[in-house]
Amino acid sequence: MQLPKGFIEKYTQLLKDEAPAFFQALNEEPTRGFRVNPLKSSSQPTEHATNDPVSYCQFGYYGTVSGKTIDHQSGLIYSQEPSAMYVGEVAHPKPGDRVLDLCAAPGGKTTHLASYMNQEGLLVSNEINRKRAGILAENVERFGLQNTIMTNESPDSLEKHFPAFFDVVVVDAPCSGEGMFRKDHEAVQYWTPEYPLSCANRQKKILKSALAMLKPGGRLIYSTCTFAPEEDEQNMAWLLQEYADLQLLPIKKYPGMADGRPEWADGNSELTKALRIFPHQMRGEGHFIAQLQKQITDVKTKELKPQKSNVNKLQRQDWHKVADQLLSITIEDSRLLAFGEHLYAMPTDLPELSKLQVIRPGVNLGMFKKNRFEPALPLALAFQAKDFQEPVPITEEQWVDYVHGDTFSISDVTNGWHALTCHELTVGFGKVVNGVVKNFYPKKLRFSINK
């Protein structure tokens, strides 16, 4: 890989004796990894090795993910670059927290944050780019999140809806992507000496909005996948200068992780509490992480109106015809929200959504069709086998047929809707008719596997 001349000159000056090892690392193979989803009934992958754990991530392992596997398609594992995993570890929200992932696509941070929340509280996952928001939605649905809504808003628009609302705000900021160079060589082509400063100015606007949504006593986690001081230490120094009620909190540093570098900003020694990951010091692509806390004040925060169910009597009846047969748990009617032709289960205590650009207002339960209701794949992925009345185990061979869109035979199963399971994981729905499983795996997701 040919690094830009200006990049080499910049980091030769900044890193001094470390620079040769840094540049050499950027020309090595990228590091791959994945996290295991603790929200699934089976927590052990069967098709991916877990003998090389990431020391600083409770759910993380080094290794490459194969997408055409039960592990991946069921949401049991999520592919994520290892150094990026530490952002979620630092944020580490509690069950019941209100959490915002402000720049969320493609979903690595959102799914990691949710791993600690145990389907409780509220997680707002926002992405300003509509196309990337769609990718985010697919990843969140596969992971099986029940307490998450996905929005497609600019940060300054979102702050009008959630003033001083969140316990934890994560800003994994759009950046110059220097830590992506060896994984995505196209990122090198976008880099210019002026690019980091341009990104830093955009990040400041995002941070202003993030702080407006952070409640007193709440924590802001700021991260980038770039090495640029303009976007890292200098932005944190700016925050500390601009906001008297903010303080940097220390972050636990594992072997190979480095302190933030005050000399690359205004010399404020507090910046050593931030954290840097360099590819020549650790197995990872590189990251900057800082954790800040807003001081508690006497200012009263505004209570937001709750979102009310808008489901009519006929829609409820159609839903219950399927749900009462299919589920062994109860989803309260007060949580049901009709969203176009789809029915969703909202997170508990969700604020009113009418003026927001919402991609998904909760779990997609299914679609209303003429005189009937058809359950959706995200409903199967959001719950465990025990949450369904008569889950039907299928073999790996039948799963291959299922994801291809084929029907297959099954014995001793009553007619009607059933959750299908494989390796103890829910993988979708089928409708059994006289010993044949009719296939309802979404057409856009179907794929072939060579038998």
Annotated binding site for S-adenosyl-L-methionine: 103-109, 127, 172
Q: Which residues are annotated as a binding site?
A: 103-109, 127, 172
Identified catalytic residue from 57, 175, 225, 422? 225
Residue 177 corresponds to which amino acid?
A: G
Helix pair 5-15, 19-26: axis angle to 10 deg: 140
Residue 199 among the catalytic residues: no
What distance, in Å, lies between the first and last C-alpha atoms of the chain?
38
Bond preceding residue 106 cis, omega within 30 of 0: yes
- Amino acid letter at 432? V
Q: CA–CA separation, 289 vs 285, rounded Å?
A: 13
Instruction: Report how far residue 345's alpha carbon sits from residue 362's, in angstroms, rounded to the nearest whole number.
Output: 5
Closest CA to 57 of 287, 309, 383, 314: 287
Amino acid at 66: S
Residues identified as active-site = 225
